[in-house]
Amino acid sequence: MTATEIEPRADWRSRLPDGPAASTWLREHGVYVALLLLVLYNVVATANFVTLDTLQLLFSQLPPVIIVSLGMALVIGTGGVDLSVGTTMAIASAVLAKMVIAPSQGGFGASITVAMIAAVLAGLAVGVFNGVVIAVARVQPIVATLGVLVAGRGIALVITGGALIELFVPFFKEVRLGKLFGVPYVMIVAGVLALIISFLVRRSAFGYRLLAIGGNRRASVLAGLPVKRTLITVYALSGTLAAVAGVIATARLRASDPSYIGVLFELSAITAVVVGGTALTGGRVRILGTVAGAVLIQLLETTLVSHNAPDSVARIVEALIIIAAVWIQRTSRRNR
Amino acid sequence: MTTTAGPPVLAVTSAGKRFAGVTALEDVSIDLYAGSVHALVGENGAGKSTLIKVITGVHPLDTGQVRLRGEEVSFASPRAAQQAGIATIYQEVHLAPQLSVARNFFLGREPTRFGSLDLRRMNREAQAELEKYGILADVRRPLAELGLGVQQMVAIARAVSADASVVIMDEPTSSLEPREVDRLLDVVALLKSQGVAIVYVSHRLDEVFRACDMITVLRDGRLVSTGPTAELTRRQLIARMLGRDAGELSEGNLTRLNSRREVADAEPVLRAEHLNRRLVLEDVSVVVRPGEVVGLAGLLGSGRSETVKALFGALPLDSGAVEVAGRPLRRQTPASRIRERVAMLPEDRKAEGIIPGMSIRDNIGLAALPQLTRGGLVSRKKVDDIVQTFMKRLRIKATNSNQKVSELSGGNQQKVLLARLLCLNPRVLLLDEPTRGIDVGAKAEVQALITELAEKGMAVVLISSELEEVVEGSDTVVVLRDGAQLGQLVGSDISEDTIMDMIAEAASDEAPAVAS
């Protein structure tokens, strides 16, 4: 046998024996790197970025995206997708308005507490509906939730009577401006929800089942897991969280506008989840990554706005980020 | 083209490959000659797949070289290897099942006429080519309508007609019926006579001895031996694959043979009667007592897997009753069976068993989750305890319990699934092909485990496509054909001959099944 010489080959892959490992790293940590780069870019290139105002603005915009993304992360973890979150926000907002306005204006004149509970229950109902259609009737998630995406805004418009309803609720000022140790209440709510969801994913039997179903549904059925119940719960959570986000968005807007609230939120949420390292194919959920992804998306929009780029550009960049993230997921799964 | 002798068509010299610091292949050399069938054998994890992958351009080599007709080659992709005349046939058929047989045959090199597909020519030529391999199917029908074996042969015919001089077959027979295996081996002989160099990877040693001229044994990524088949006995080969003393092996076999027990006339723990499902099952009844192993014998498609699925509640029934410990079960769902401590090992480990993205630990704990949970939270300690117990008991080889199950060999994955079932402390264990696709060592361990569990009073239903395994391991054998029960054999009546006679007799009663 001749002496083996280790010569470098023309094939680039041979010089990157840890190619898959590198892209696995990128999949898990890419979102933090991207976020860091974007912050650095802003510090250098955006006027007045390093001010408390910018941070405050970001903090006030972030909670709805984060909260919706948390639910989306669970749904995507099961290998599904929830396209209805944006319209669910609109429905919750419409229900809130309908409950809170005076009977003379066609409402119920309920207290804000009751109205908020009703709004969240409406989101829960939408989620349960999605879950039943998907788990029991076995309609593909993308189709089932697309139906709600299409019909939902119409439902919201019917509830509000087709118009924007301005809301004068003192409590909304609290929601907008209230702070604890300088942190807005809504940000604390988003943070606590993120912690709860993260805990559920890591430690609860529910989280365990969700990941198993996303990893291999057939095997989960044969292992005796309550697959239907788990899926319905996941979509119910997604709907509920979307409704909470809808309430916050309504408070920020001081109005319920079914044709504005939650528009394209499904896209932002999916981006946040996928960029954060959750597998689109299911079976792996990253909650911290999802939160970072949501911050990334929001900061990106803020950046583009402050550089006077039109909103449509933000959508294009968002789409590119999704493609890049999915591509990274694919490369890190190769050779497995 | 020359036949035998001469310089090798393909020569691999001191191939080495490491993955993330783990040696997958070290200093392995193999020469392939025209018109010669070369068997590649070894336990799971021996390096067979890696060797194939470095030849076909899936992975680049770290050290060593591959020469095709004397010239050094390094394929950038499987496609490049294919274009150079190296075709690979995998155990799963990598074709488009919804397209017609003819279109699959020409996939990627379709003849065109005026810029559109020349379907008539495709059909005509595909039909003629496939006939050479004894495939008489209607080439206009979708590939999916053919049996797996025929699909496999279409894949082979396709590869060879694309001018392959080297054909690598990776466990081509693992999902074929005996009859189909015969036909496949005929095709192998045909290719051989045409001067093709063939690599034949298989767990089935009789096929290796029947069809192969040379045998190369790999173990732990290293070459153990390579030489003519005629110079090896079966015993020697097994010993080389396992790296064990041949004597020890035979001893193990003898103990198992003598371990047939008398089953007490205990009350049945599982009783299923008159199970019916249109076109699938016809009046099948199975009764299992504690400590009894009931084997289900029959060919592929005889309804043996469906019977087990029906027992487990995973197959909807038109009629029939299933009782566990005297209690009728109304709900036909797997979850309801698991609550009654009836557990099933599914036939398709990958599609129905493991959760590939999860760790060994999480895979083991899956079915017993309710017992490992308090107030909705999974108890880490309980899971760790049970996982450690079963990893030790079943000798699951892994770096630690947090390793991903998809990184394990087939045998160890199977043990993980068995551990998942045993966590439930089952009363009835339904095992569908527990030893399929796992190496000889793990196979013996699994067989021993089944015997041990039965001796401790567990009721077992066993399916195996290896008749020998059913005959040796069962106290009672239910023989099935076309979804119907042909009869039941007990104790000393059980033998391979009797079972085959029963199946053959039933077959002659009716028109022979259409051989596609």
Cβ–Cβ gap B351/A1 under 8 Å? no
Environment class of A101 (CB within 10 Å of its CB; exposed 0-12, middle 13-18, buried 19+)? buried
- For the segment A25-51, the average pLDDT, to the nearest whole number, is 83
CA-to-CA distance for A110 and B327, rounded, in angstroms?
54
- Residue B250, pLDDT > 80, answer no
Q: In terms of CA atoms, which chain A residue is nearest residue B27?
A: A4
Identical fold between B10-247 and B248-341+426-516: yes
> Where are chain B's structural domains?
10-247, 248-341+426-516, 351-424
Question: How far A164 CA sits from the closest chain B CA (Å)?
Answer: 43
Burial code of A56-75, b = ≥16 C-beta within 10 A, e = fewer? eeebbbbbbbbbbbbbbbbb
Cβ–Cβ gap A224/B339 under 8 Å? yes
- pLDDT tens for residues A253-287? 888 898 899 988 999 999 999 989 888 888 999 99
Q: In terms of CA atoms, which chain B residue is nearest residue A279?
A: B357
- Residue A10, pLDDT > 80, answer no
- pLDDT tens for residues B18-64? 876 667 889 999 999 999 999 998 866 678 888 999 998 888 899 99
HEC secondary structure over B131-198: HHCCCCCCCCCEHHHCCHHHHHHHHHHHHHHCCCCEEEEECCCCCCCHHHHHHHHHHHHHHHHCCCEE
Whether the CB-CB separation of B367 and A224 falls below 8 Å is answered with: yes
- Specify the pLDDT at position A20: 57
- Specify the pLDDT at position A3: 39
- Give, in degrees to the nearest 5, the angle at Cα B84 between B83 and B88: 75
Whether the CB-CB separation of A124 and A118 falls below 8 Å is answered with: no
Cβ–Cβ gap A216/B354 under 8 Å? yes
Question: pTM here?
Answer: 0.72
Q: Work out the end-to-end distance of chain A between its first and last CA atoms, rounded to an integer number of angstroms.
A: 33
Residue A26 — very low, low, confident or very high, per pLDDT cuts 50/70/90?
confident
Q: In terms of CA atoms, which chain A residue is nearest residue B20?
A: A18
- pLDDT tens for residues A159-206? 988 788 888 888 888 888 888 887 888 999 999 999 999 999 999 999
State the DSSP string of B273-285: EEEEETTTEEEEE
- pLDDT tens for residues A320-334? 887 887 787 776 654
CA-to-CA distance for A177 and A304, rounded, in angstroms?
25
CATH 3.40.50.300 fits B248-341+426-516, yes or no: yes
- For the segment B483-508, the average pLDDT, to the nearest whole number, is 80
- Specify the pLDDT at position A331: 66
Question: How far A216 CA sits from the closest chain B CA (Å)?
Answer: 5
- Choose among B76, B372, B377: nearest Cβ to A11: B76
Name residues whose C-beta falls within 8 Å of residue B54's C-beta, 6 or more positions apart in sequence: B12, B15, B17, B25, B60, B61, B66
- Residue A21, pLDDT > 80, answer no
- Specify the pLDDT at position B248: 44
- pLDDT tens for residues B276-292? 998 789 999 999 999 99
Chain B residues with CB inside 8 Å of A14's CB? 60-62
CA distances from A65 to A58, A233, A249, B380 (A): 11, 21, 10, 33
Structure-token pair, residue A246: 């809808």
CA-to-CA distance for B417 and B364, rounded, in angstroms?
7
Q: Is B24 or B430 the better-scoring residue by pLDDT? A: B430
The 8-class DSSP code of residue B99 comes to S
Residue B259 — very low, low, confident or very high, per pLDDT cuts 50/70/90?
very low
Q: In terms of CA atoms, which chain B residue is nearest residue A7?
A: B63
- pLDDT tens for residues B126-148? 888 888 877 777 888 888 887 77
Q: Quote the mean pLDDT of chain A.
A: 86
Query: Residue written as tokens 């077992």?
Result: B460
CA-to-CA distance for A91 and A68, rounded, in angstroms?
14
Cβ–Cβ gap B358/A206 under 8 Å? no
HEC secondary structure over B488-502: EEEHHHCCHHHHHHH
Chain B residues with CB inside 8 Å of A279's CB? 357
Whether the CB-CB separation of B60 and A11 falls below 8 Å is answered with: yes
- For the segment B235-243, the average pLDDT, to the nearest whole number, is 71
CA-to-CA distance for B58 and B361, rounded, in angstroms?
30
Structure-token pair, residue B233: 């006995």
- For the segment B178-204, the average pLDDT, to the nearest whole number, is 86
- Specify the pLDDT at position A98: 92
- For the segment B109-124, the average pLDDT, to the nearest whole number, is 83
| DSSP E strand boundaries for chain A | 165-166, 179-180, 183-184, 255-256
Query: What would the CATH number be for the domain defined by B10-247?
Result: 3.40.50.300
Cβ–Cβ gap A219/B74 under 8 Å? no
- Specify the pLDDT at position B322: 93
Question: How far B63 CA sits from the closest chain A CA (Å)?
Answer: 6
- Specify the pLDDT at position B390: 92
Residue B512 — very low, low, confident or very high, per pLDDT cuts 50/70/90?
very low
Residue B341 C-alpha from the chain's centroid: 27
Chain B residues with CB inside 8 Å of A203's CB? 377-378
- Give, in degrees to the nearest 5, the angle at Cα B10 between B7 and B15: 120
